[in-house]
Amino acid sequence: MGMDRFRKLMLCVLAIFSVTALGFGLAMASELEIFVKEEAIVKSAEIRLADIARFTPANDIRVGRLARIKIAPSPPPGSGFILDHSFLISKLSPILSKEKNIRVKIPNALHVRRATQVVKKKRLEEIFHAYLKKHAPWPLQNILIEKFSSPKLVCLPSGKLRWTARHQGRTRWVGPLSLVVTFWVNERPVRKIPISATLLVKQRFVRAGRKIVRGAIIGSGDIVVTEKVVDSFNDTIITDPKEVIGKQLLRTVRKGQILTRAMIKEVPWVRRGQQIRILAENEHIKVIATGKALEEGGAGDQVKVINIGSGKEIYATVKSPGLVKVEF
């Protein structure tokens, strides 16, 4: 009984194998039909047969190989062209003539269009703003952007998009600024786009709040701070009131005049002929003597002084108003 069941099982297996083999043989021997479309949208840089044709039956083992046949380069993203009947015949005939049981249907013309993604001018402006926010040395709210220039739109191949940007040449982040934006699709650089604008920056200015005469020591009540939008910088202009308060004016300025670094100097801590204290010290001893300044000097300056007690002239460092120090 067991042997009969085994024989029946083997017969069933052989029958199934025979039917499968027969079907496979029929599939190999069946006709493959290739229908070239009248319209096609392609995504890659090359047009292949799979992009423009439909295969019947789709499971024919020849489909994978034939689908990879190169037809022509693709048009630029967002544009298209027409492949006529004779061109398609010239591309397919040499290849398909070597195949058996293949029937091809080709239209009078094939309209091919390249798939695209569009970057509009608004997005390019956003890229410019983001670059300024990341790299400019002052807050974005202090920057005014004028005369922005870019293409109205940029057509790129379809795919995963990202971009990088860099500025051209050296920049002071005021006045003209040009960037080059590189667009990447599927991690491949595909296009570089120049964009530019003029940057205006809000800058603070320290001005004379009234007429101040030469030699005056500037106080907080002598100045006012104003803001102005500029398209260039002057490094000599004072923008922080702390830079001028307590300094001496080198020339008379009128009310409202912008103060520059060339107009002021440090107030001397030691004046010529002034009685001073001379500090002499080392790690073991500290002595303070009375002296007289023979030169004028500010903080850290080396000036000649005379020790009144000894009559000796020496050089000392100005440490504070009326105090100089010597090492011994």
Q: Which CATH number characterizes residue 87's domain? A: 2.60.480
Query: In terms of domains, do 208 and 186 share one?
Result: no
pTM of the predicted model over 0.85: no
258 DSSP 8-state letter: B
Residue 26: the pLDDT is 40
Q: Is residue 5 part of a domain?
A: no
User: What tokens does 145 get?
Assistant: 């952007």
- Residue 231 and residue 284 in one domain: no
pLDDT tens over the chain, length 328 residues: 444 554 544 434 333 433 343 344 444 448 999 999 999 999 999 999 999 999 999 999 999 999 999 999 999 998 999 999 999 999 998 888 888 899 999 999 999 999 999 999 999 999 999 999 999 988 888 899 999 999 999 999 999 999 999 998 778 899 999 999 999 999 999 999 999 999 999 989 999 999 999 989 899 999 999 998 988 888 889 989 999 998 889 999 999 999 999 999 888 889 899 999 999 988 888 899 999 999 998 888 899 999 998 999 999 999 988 999 998 7
Establish if 74 belongs to a structural domain: yes
- Give a yes or no: residue 23 inside a domain: no
Whether residue 21 lies inside any domain: the answer is no
Q: What's the confidence (pLDDT) of residue 254?
A: 95
Task: Using CB atoms within 10 Å of the CB of residue 70, give its burial: 0 to 12 exposed, 13 to 18 middle, 19+ buried.
Answer: exposed
* Shared-domain flag, residues 196 and 207: no
Tokens of 186: 């599927």
Domain tally for the chain? 4
Residue pair 147/170 in contact by the 8 Å Cβ criterion: no
CATH number for the domain that contains residue 242: 3.90.1210.10
Domain limits for position 300 = 275-327
Give the Cα separation of 93 and 17 in Å (integer): 37
Tell me which of 98, 114, 130 is where a domain ends: 114
What integer pLDDT is reported at residue 328 of this predicted model? 75
Tell me, rounded to whole angstroms, the distance of Cα 59 from its chain centroid.
Answer: 49
Cα dihedral 64, 65, 68, 70 sign: negative
Nearest to 201 by CA among 227, 236, 171: 227
Residue where a domain stops, chosen among 180, 200, 220: 200
Domain membership flag for residue 84: yes
Nearest to 49 by CA among 35, 29, 60, 32: 35
97 in the same domain as 48? yes
Same domain, yes or no: 215 and 279? no
Q: Taking the CB of residue 28, how many other CB atoms lie within 10 A of it? A: 11
Rounded to the nearest 10°, the torsion over CA 14, 20, 22, 27 is -170
Do residue 85 and residue 137 come from a single domain?
Answer: no
Are residues 247 and 309 located together in one domain of the fold? no
Same domain, 123 and 162: yes
Alpha-carbon span 159 to 2, nearest angstrom: 63
Q: In CATH, what number is assigned to the domain containing residue 317?
A: 2.30.30.760
301, part of any domain: yes
Strand order in the sheet with 102-105: 53-56, 32-36, 102-105
Domain boundary among 245, 265, 285: 265
In a domain, 8, yes or no: no
CATH number of the domain to which 157 belongs = 3.10.129
Length of the chain: 328
Same domain, 143 and 180: yes
Token digits for 19? Answer: 């039917």
In a domain, 66, yes or no: yes
List, in sequence order, every residue forming a beta bridge with 182; answer none if it has no partner.
164, 192
Q: Are residue 139 and residue 161 in the same domain, yes or no?
A: yes
State the pLDDT at residue 235.
Answer: 83
- CA 151/CA 104 separation, integer angstroms: 44
Residue 66 CB-density burial (10 A; 0-12 exposed, 13-18 middle, 19+ buried): buried
Same domain? For 126 and 174 the reply is yes
Residues 57 and 105 in one domain: yes
